[in-house]
A and B are shown apart, each in its own frame.
Chain A
C-alpha cells in the first residue's frame, strides 16, 4: 500500500487538524485503528472507504461526539481534547451529517437555533440565517416548517446551520447521497467557494467520480485502518476502488443473452395519492416487465419509490384492479398475501422493521412472508419444521453467517440479514421479484452474492424489478433503466444507452427532449 505524500500546493504549512494514532475500540472490535490524518486549510480532503470502514467513527471523534480509546488530536498545532460537539464548534469545526438532525414540526429558524449555541437573540439569528443562506446560494425561508421541505432543501438547513458558525473546518458526510446530479453541482460550487475563503473541507464519500472531480487529497480507510493517502486527480476510479476494497471482488457474471418471455408484471397508468402529507403522489406510472428481464428504477430518494413499492406490493391498494397485472391477472386491488399467491415476491428497502421483525427469529421471519404460499401453514396451524427448513436452505444457498441455527433477525450483520431477506424470497421461486435498494448498507462480498442471485433468478425466467440509488449497480445488472422523479416514471432506456448524463437529467426532472424540458419545469 503506497503512502504517497499529498501533492497539494501547501505542503509545509502546519496542518489545521492532525490526528495521531487515533483509535476507537468497542469491546474487541476496532472501529478505528491508529489513524493518522492531516487536514490543511484551503483544501478539499476526501475520506474514502466502503460501508463499515470507519469513516463515521473517525469524523464523530473529530467532532467530539465520540471519545477516542487511544491517540490524540492536534488543532492548529495544539493538543485538543473535546468534551462534546459544542466545544468542537467553538474551535471552528462544523459538521453536516448524512442523516439530518432536523425536527419536522419546527420551523427552519427553530431548527437552526437548536444547532447553534443560543448566544444571539432568536430574531437576530433568524435574520442572519436568511442572509447567509442567500449569500451562499442556498436560499431558506426561516418561517417554513421542515416537514414541508424537500430533501435538498433540508440539507441546505444543515449546511447553513454549520456555515453560520463560521467554521474553519467543515466536515460533510455523504452530502450528495440524496441529491440529483444537478443539485450536487450546485453544492460543489458552494464548496469551492468555501475553499477559496480559506476553509478546510473534509468530504466523505464513496462516489469515486465525484471525489476525483472535487477533491485535492484523499485518505482511504479500510477495515478501520488508513491504507493510503493520495491525490485523487492523479488516480483512476479503478485504482481508488482497489485501494478501498482491497481483495478482488468476484466479477458478477451476466448469463449470456437471457431469454425474454411473456410480460409477467405490467403497470397501467397507476396514479395514487399519498397516505401521509409528506408523501409523494404517483402519477400515471406505466411499465411492462417480461420474464428473464431485469428492469432498474433509478432516482434520488424521496421521489415516490417508497410509494411505488407499497403500491406494487399491495401494502397500498389501487381502486382499479387493472392498474397492476401480475402473471396476466389484474391485481391492483389484491392484498400482499394474494399477490404472493400469484407468484410475486418483495424485498423492501428497510430490512429491520419492515422486511423483518427485528426481535423475532429467522424462522418466524421466514413465516412472515412464507405463510401465503409456501406450505408453512396447515389448517391455521404453523409447521415449524417447514419454517426452519427455509432458514437452513437460505443459509446454505446464500452463505448467511450467523451465531446459531435460528437467531433473532436483529443479531445478524446488515449484509447477512440482507442475504437472508433476499434469499427467503428467491427460494419461493417467484415469477416476479420486486426489490428495493438490494445492497444498501451491505459489505462488498454480500453485495456480490445478492446481485448474482438476482441475475440467476432472471436467467431462470423470473421478471425482476430493482429500485436503486446506486447507478453503478443498475448499470451492472439491469437490461433497461427507468427514472422516478416526483412520482413520474420515465420511459425505460436500454442500459447500454443510459449514460450518466442522461440519467442525471432524468433524475433532476429534466426531459431528454429539449422541448419538453421547459414544459416539465412549468408543471
Chain B
C-alpha cells in the first residue's frame, strides 16, 4: 500500500510540469501558432526560477521569475513569427537552442546550491488519511495549480467570448481578420501565456521536483509537452489524461530499474521517448470532422490593409 501511494505521488509530481507546459502550448496552438521553443522556455524558467528562489529565499519569487523568464523568451518568438512573419519551425528551434545556452550561462552560478523545496499542503486530519490523504491533500502548490490551470483554460476556451475568438483565430485567421479581430494581437497573448506556463513548468523542476538545478535538467520534457497537445487532440480534458500517462511511464522506468528486471537502465530511460513516438503514430491518423488540429496551425499570417 505504501508503495502504491508512493508511486502515485511520484507520478503526480512527474506529470505536473508536463501538464503545465502542455496547457500553455495548447492555448498557443489553439490560436494557430506552433511554438517549438517550449524546451528552451522551460529550461530558462528552471534556471531563472531557481536562481531567484535561491537569492531571495522564497519559492513564490522563484516561481514568478520562472514565469517571467518564459514569457520574455516567448516574446522573442512572437516578435519573429508574428512581427516578421518568420517560419515558426525555425524560430522555435532557435529559441530552444538559445534557451539551452542562456540557461547554462545563468545557471552556472547556481549549480551545486540547494534550497528548501516547495512546501506540501498539510491539513490535520485530512492529510493523514491512509492512501488518499497525501495524494489529495498533501501536494505542493504546483500540483493544485496545474489542475486549476487546466480547468481555467477549459472554461476560458469554451465558456467565454474571448476564448471563442481565440479558437476562431486558430481555425481560420483570414475569416477572423475579415471580421475585424486583431489576429496578431490575440496570438501574441496566446504565445505569452504559453511562455509563462512553460517558464512555470520549468521552474517547478528545481523548486519542487528536486531542490537543485542541473544544466539541461528538463531533459526533453518540453518536447514531450508538445507531443502531449497532439495526443490530447487540443482538448484540455484529454491533456490531463495524457500528462499523467506520460508521467507514469517516466516513473515506471525508475521503478523497473529498482526491481532489477535485468533490462539495461538505458532502455528503461528511453521508454518515455519511445512511448511518445508510438503515441504520435497511433493518434496522428487523420480524423473526420472535429477534434483535428486547429486548421490555421503553423501557417504564416500577414494581414492586408
Contacts and interface: CB of A to CB of B under 8 A. Distances in A.
A188 interface: no
B168 interface: yes
B288 to A, nearest CB: 4
A104 B176 CA distance: 12
Interface stretch (A106-114, A292-300, A393-401, A504-512): A106-114
A103 B290 contact: no
A384 interface: no
B178 interface: yes
Interface stretch (B21-29, B135-143, B159-167, B269-277): B159-167
A69 to B, nearest CB: 13
Contact of B168 (A65, A84, A114): A114
B86 to A, nearest CB: 16
B87 interface: no
A103 B178 contact: no
Interface string A95-119: 0010111111110001001110010
Contact of B288 (A99, A102, A277): A277
Given A105-B292, A277-B289, A85 B172 contact: no
Interface residues of B, number: 20
A320 B292 CA distance: 32
A110 B164 contact: yes
B165 A103 contact: no
Interface in B249-305: 288-290, 292, 294-295
B134 to A, nearest CB: 41
Contacts of B175: 100-103
Given A110-B164, A114-B164, A118-B161, A105 B295 contact: yes
B289 A106 contact: no
A136 interface: no
A479 interface: no
A104 B295 contact: yes
Nearest to B179: A101
Nearest to A63: B180
Contacts of B168: 103, 106, 110, 114
B5 interface: no
A10 B41 CA distance: 66
A102 B289 contact: no
Q: Is the interface of A mostly helix, strand, loop or mixed?
A: loop
B179 A85 contact: yes
A85 B180 contact: yes
A105 B288 contact: no
Contact of A105 (B161, B174, B181, B290): B290
Contacts of A86: 180
Interface string B167-203: 1100110111011110000000000000000000000
A106 B294 CA distance: 11
Contacts of B288: 277
A306 interface: no
A147 interface: yes
B215 to A, nearest CB: 41
A141 interface: no
Given A105-B171, A106-B171, A277-B289, A114 B295 contact: no
Contacts of B289: 145, 147-148, 277
Contact of B164 (A65, A99, A100, A113): A113
Contacts of A113: 161, 164
A117 B190 CA distance: 22
Interface string A67-107: 00000000000000000111000000000010111111110
Interface in A147-167: 147-148
A101 B181 CA distance: 12
Nearest to B292: A105
B159 to A, nearest CB: 9
Nearest to B172: A103
A122 B289 CA distance: 23
B172 A104 contact: yes
A277 B291 CA distance: 13
A101 B165 CA distance: 13
Contacts of A65: 178, 180
Nearest to A118: B161
Contacts of A148: 289
Contacts of A102: 172, 175
Interface string B230-248: 0000000000000000000
A508 B292 CA distance: 33
Contacts of A114: 164-165, 168, 176, 179, 181
A104 B295 CA distance: 9
A262 to B, nearest CB: 42
Given A145-B290, A147-B289, A277-B289, A104 B171 contact: yes
A49 B164 CA distance: 38
Contacts of B178: 65, 97, 99, 101
Best-buried of B167, B175, B288 by chain A (most CB within 10 Å): B175
Interface string A44-76: 000000000000000000000100000000000
Nearest to A88: B180
Contacts of A115: 179
B171 A103 contact: yes
| Candidate in B176, B180, B292 with the most chain A CB atoms within 10 angstroms | B180
Interface string B85-97: 0000000000000
Contacts of B294: 105
Contacts of A110: 164, 168
A84 B171 contact: no
Contacts of A104: 171-172, 295
Contacts of B165: 114
A90 to B, nearest CB: 12
B161 to A, nearest CB: 5
Given A103-B172, A145-B290, A84 B180 contact: yes
Nearest to A145: B290
Interface string B114-135: 0000000000000000000000
Contacts of A147: 289
A106 B289 CA distance: 11
Contacts of A103: 167-168, 171-172, 175-176
Interface of B: 161, 164-165, 167-168, 171-172, 174-176, 178-181, 288-290, 292, 294-295
29 contacts: A65-B180, A99-B178, A100-B175, A101-B172, A101-B174, A101-B175, A101-B178, A101-B179, A102-B172, A102-B175, A103-B168, A103-B171, A103-B176, A104-B172, A105-B292, A105-B294, A105-B295, A106-B171, A110-B168, A114-B164, A114-B165, A114-B168, A114-B179, A114-B181, A118-B161, A122-B161, A145-B289, A147-B289, A148-B289
Closest 8 pairs (CB-CB, A-B) = A101-B175, A277-B288, A101-B178, A103-B171, A85-B180, A118-B161, A103-B172, A103-B168
Given A103-B172, A105-B294, 15 more contacts: A97-B178, A100-B175, A102-B175, A103-B171, A104-B171, A104-B172, A105-B171, A105-B290, A106-B167, A106-B168, A114-B165, A114-B168, A114-B176, A122-B161, A148-B289
